[in-house]
Amino acid sequence: MNYSYQKKEALFAALAGVLYVISGTLHIVEGLGADTGFAALLFVQADILGGFCLAVIGMVFLYGLLEMRRGIKAGMSFAYVGILLSIIFMAVYLLIMGGNLLDSFIVPGDYEGWNIMESLRPGIYLGLLSLMAAFSWKGRFSSNGISVREEV
Amino acid sequence: MAEKIIVALAGNPNVGKTSIFNAITGSKQHVGNWPGVTVEKKMGKRVHSDVEMEVVDLPGTYSLTAYSLDEIVARDFIIEEKPDIVVQVVDGTNLERNLYLTTQLMELGVKLVIALNMSDLVLSKGVHIDEAKMQEYLEVPVVSTIGSTGNGIHGLLDTIIERSSDKRVYGNTFDYEEDIEVRAEELEMILEKDPYFAHYPSRWFSLKLLEGDENILRKARGSESYPKIKNVLDNLDPDSFESRIADQRYGTIQFMLRQVCDINTSHLSGSDMVDRVVTNKYLGIPIFLSLMWAAFEVTFTFATPFMNMIDIFFAWLGEVTVSLISTDWLSSLIGEGIIAGVGSVLIFLPNILLLFFMLSIMEDSGYISRAAFIMDRVMSRIGLHGKSFIPLIMGFGCNVPAIMATRTIEDSRDRLITILVTPFISCGARLPVYVLLAGAFFGRDAGVVIFSLYALGILVALLSAKLMRGTVLRGEDAPFIMELPEYRIPTLRSGIIHMWERGKIYLKKAGGIILLGVVGVWLLASIPVPGSGGQFASGDIYGTTSSLLGAIGMLIEPLVAPLGFDWRIAVALLFGVVAKEIVVGSMGVLYGAGTNEENLAGILAAGAMSPLVGLGLMVFVLLYVPCFACIGVIKRETGSWKWTLFQLFYGTGLAWGLAFLVYQTGSRIGLLS
């Protein structure tokens, strides 16, 4: 069996999975009213549902890691779909950021002192990590899919 | 003068018939990527090579056996209207199941053309189809198409014209086992002698009789030769014949596919990869919830600046208009009535457009079918199956087409339950109420509140279905068979068309029924109660309890007072039965949003309403009586006033109970007061 592809995906899934689960958990904990001390440093907001979404993305990566470690080549699907989901959520957070920026021009009082650092969210910078992975593996993202012949 | 022909587009659900229909006729009918988008036939026209074609898009059907309402619509059109050509749109990625319908269309003796659609996806799945061989086996013209891009449509139109002028009868028929053939021939002889059956192809009709098709048997019972038919059918088991006939059709199809298809079985396509994840036993539902949250978050947050732009415009318009009109009552009508009312509704246009754009992306990508699939486990616990979840999700857009979409559900009890619970799914018309109140009272958490209301709607629908299944509509669990279509990358064009179609409806409503509604509210709010001594539209009467509207409101206020609602909310809810957006419009008029410096949300947040009452009001609007259009479609689809009234009273009772719970519990524990 050739696992050269899988090693990279497994490593990425482990890294992204852990980062997403941690930042999702921090969002949830902050949302429950506790002060984690990471809010300012990691741009984490008190947001239970947003945190849940990030944790779900992390779980997708980690589930894929488990499958790949068991030698299931199709487990790579989880890494690819995790990347897709994290890019979707990065786009969502960017839209929210853009909306707030636009609103600060229309109703200046609402978002006075708006700046990019305050609008940054883990969903955006972690999404950039996935975006880089997507670019480096773009050849494998075509709808032609992958061959799973080794398993058959 | 151009020759005129009728072309029917038939095929399995979700094979791209509507895409082909749009590509041929230039229409902009909504295209979705899930089974059951088309539940009624749609018509369009096209002139090609001097031939005028009337194209009819039929609902998707897996066979010509009438299991569900949409299948009856499709079958009856082909048999009764006798189109000149039937184009069967075939999903090239799922030939075996699609060709089952082909065998029946061929037995029906129609002039058939096959549009082998989604040919791009066929290649991406590692499948090669030899069209020439397929054409040779079936003796039916086969044309490759890609409905979404319009590829192959010219070739298809040429073939339709060529085929329509060809008088010869084509199409192979299938030979069945000897005892089936003997019975079929006996029946054919009886049918051919009876003019009552002259309308029907005797071969097809006799096979349907052998299959025990209830609809066909009912037709046969009306004929004089029925005793003879009954004699042939008496000694056989229709279930066994039906399955043997189906087996032989599939056997023939599989034989042919081995000759014409080259399939790479060790290939995991992009669709397969995504499905491994989004339909995963543990991750499927959390992913679904996350995506829904993202859609509502964008709907609320990204729309805010655009809402503010519209708000600023109406504030300016109100000021300018009122300052230009010197007649008091006219100034009040335009400022406090029309601008305050219609303006309060139009502010939410960006939310509506964004919500429908996002739903369109989910539909077009094929994700909606997966949502139904993953929800099947939850649905089966309440006695329904995943197929019932599709109308529920469609209800996020509008409950009216969602209720019509229940036609794809075969079991009549399942269908009735789904119709009765669909109005609990929060439609786009209720969104303005949530955006207004959640925005006014919950600030940046408004997205979370709105998402929770949508989730509450689903929860109430599911629990109500469980309750009905266990009491008034008991029945057996139906098996769930649903195809998962290939994923497709949603096109911006389709998203914009869908968004614009819904936006247009919203604007038309704002300029029509909502305008009428708010003028009605203004009029009633301006007419003094006899004996009050006030004058029409004067400041001391308008919008007070001394107005006729105030009197009506005071009359119904005791009914809603335990929920914390005052007479103005009672009146807004009453008018909201016409169309849900009028709740916001009426509130705009009653709270004087058009003439006040603050917008309606600002007035409410400043103390006109408490956050707790706002929350209870959102829950009430989510569940109480649906709009007139929805009531009409419930009556039409259930065919019963009894069930329609049941839905209205059950929903309103539930709305009252939950809003009561919210208000009374919140008041007692001092939450959001």
**CATH number of the domain bearing residue B245:** 1.10.287.1770
Domain count, chain A: 1
In a domain, residue A143? The reply is no
Compute the distance between CA of residue A49 and CA of residue B416 in angstroms, rounded to an integer: 34
In a domain, residue B48? The reply is yes
Q: What ipTM was predicted for this assembly? A: 0.91
- Shared domain for B140 and B7, answered yes or no, is yes
- Shared domain for B141 and B210, answered yes or no, is no
Closest CA to A95 of B298, B348, B293, B362: B298
- Shared domain for B18 and B155, answered yes or no, is yes
**B143 strand-pairing partners:** B115
> pLDDT of B408-442, one tens digit each?
777 788 889 999 999 999 988 898 899 899 989 98
Contacts of A49 in chain B (CB under 8 A): 293, 448, 451
Domain count, chain B: 2
Nearest chain B CA: its distance from A147 CA (Å): 5
The answer to whether residue B448 neighbours chain A at the CB level (below 8 Å) is yes
Compute the distance between CA of residue B76 and CA of residue B97 in angstroms, rounded to an integer: 21
Compute the distance between CA of residue A138 and CA of residue B129 in angstroms, rounded to an integer: 28
Q: State which of B263, B289, B313 marks the end of a domain.
A: B263
Closest CA to A75 of B272, B563, B189, B550: B272
Residue A13: the pLDDT is: 94
Q: State which of B165, B199, B215 marks the end of a domain.
A: B165
**B86 strand-pairing partners:** B8, B112
Q: Is B176 helix (H, G, I), strand (E, B) or coil?
A: coil
In a domain, residue A142? The reply is no
Q: Is B52 helix (H, G, I), strand (E, B) or coil?
A: strand
Out of B270, B297, B304, the one facing A145 most closely (by C-beta) is B270
The single residue listed with the structure tokens 């097809």 is B204
Compute the distance between CA of residue A62 and CA of residue B655 in angstroms, rounded to an integer: 42
Contacts of A81 in chain B (CB under 8 A): 273-274, 276-278
pLDDT higher than threshold 80 for residue B500: yes
Mean pLDDT of A122-140: 87
Mark yes or no for CB contact A92/B312 under 8 Å. no
Out of B280, B290, B305, the one facing A52 most closely (by C-beta) is B290
Annotated binding site of B for GTP: 11-18, 36-40, 57-60, 117-120
In a domain, residue B226? The reply is yes
Angle at A55 between CA A51 and CA A57, to 5 degrees: 120
- Shared domain for B102 and B159, answered yes or no, is yes
Nearest chain B CA: its distance from A21 CA (Å): 14
Between B96 and B32, the more confident residue is: B96
The answer to whether residue B301 neighbours chain A at the CB level (below 8 Å) is yes
> pLDDT of B150-180, one tens digit each?
888 999 999 999 988 877 665 556 778 888 8
Determine which helix (DSSP H) or strand (DSSP E) holds B44, and give its type and residue range: strand B42-48
Do the Cβ atoms of B173 and B107 come closer than 8 Å?
yes
Report the percent of chain B where pLDDT is more than 90.
22
In a domain, residue A147? The reply is no
In a domain, residue B248? The reply is yes
Contacts of A64 in chain B (CB under 8 A): 277
Compute the distance between CA of residue B230 and CA of residue B666 in angstroms, rounded to an integer: 68
Residue B477: the pLDDT is: 61
Mean pLDDT of chain A: 83
Nearest chain A CA: its distance from B515 CA (Å): 28
Out of A63, A88, A149, the one facing B283 most closely (by C-beta) is A63
Which amino acid would we find at residue B42? K
Strand ranges, E, within B76-213: 85-91, 112-117, 127-129, 142-144
- Shared domain for B220 and B111, answered yes or no, is no
Q: How is residue B143 written in tokens? A: 């044309």
**B47 strand-pairing partners:** B52
The single residue listed with the structure tokens 């269908």 is B415
> Which of A143, A144, A150 is the best mutation test for B, with the most CBs of B within 10 A?
A143
Between residues 53 and 112 of chain A, which touch chain B (CB distance below 8 Å)?
A: 53, 56-57, 59-60, 63-64, 74, 76-78, 80-82, 84-85, 88-89, 92, 95-96, 98-100, 102-103, 105-107, 110
Q: Is B412 helix (H, G, I), strand (E, B) or coil?
A: helix
Closest CA to B78 of B90, B93, B63, B91: B63
| A150 phi and psi angles, rounded to 5 deg | -55, -30
In a domain, residue A151? The reply is no
Report the percent of chain B where pLDDT is more than 70.
92
Out of A52, A53, A60, the one facing B283 most closely (by C-beta) is A60
Q: Is B204 helix (H, G, I), strand (E, B) or coil?
A: helix
Which amino acid would we find at residue B199? H
Mean pLDDT of A51-67: 95
pLDDT higher than threshold 50 for residue A149: no
pTM of the model: 0.69
**B46 strand-pairing partners:** B53
> pLDDT of B211-231, one tens digit each?
888 888 888 888 888 888 888
In a domain, residue B30? The reply is yes
- The range of the structural domain enclosing residue B114 comes to 3-165
- Identify which of A99-113, B53-67, B121-135, B650-664 has the greatest average pLDDT: B650-664
- The range of the structural domain enclosing residue A111 comes to 4-136
Nearest chain A CA: its distance from B354 CA (Å): 12
Mark yes or no for CB contact A56/B287 under 8 Å. yes
pLDDT band at residue A1 under the 50/70/90 scheme: very low
- Shared domain for B20 and B116, answered yes or no, is yes
In a domain, residue B130? The reply is yes
In a domain, residue A55? The reply is yes
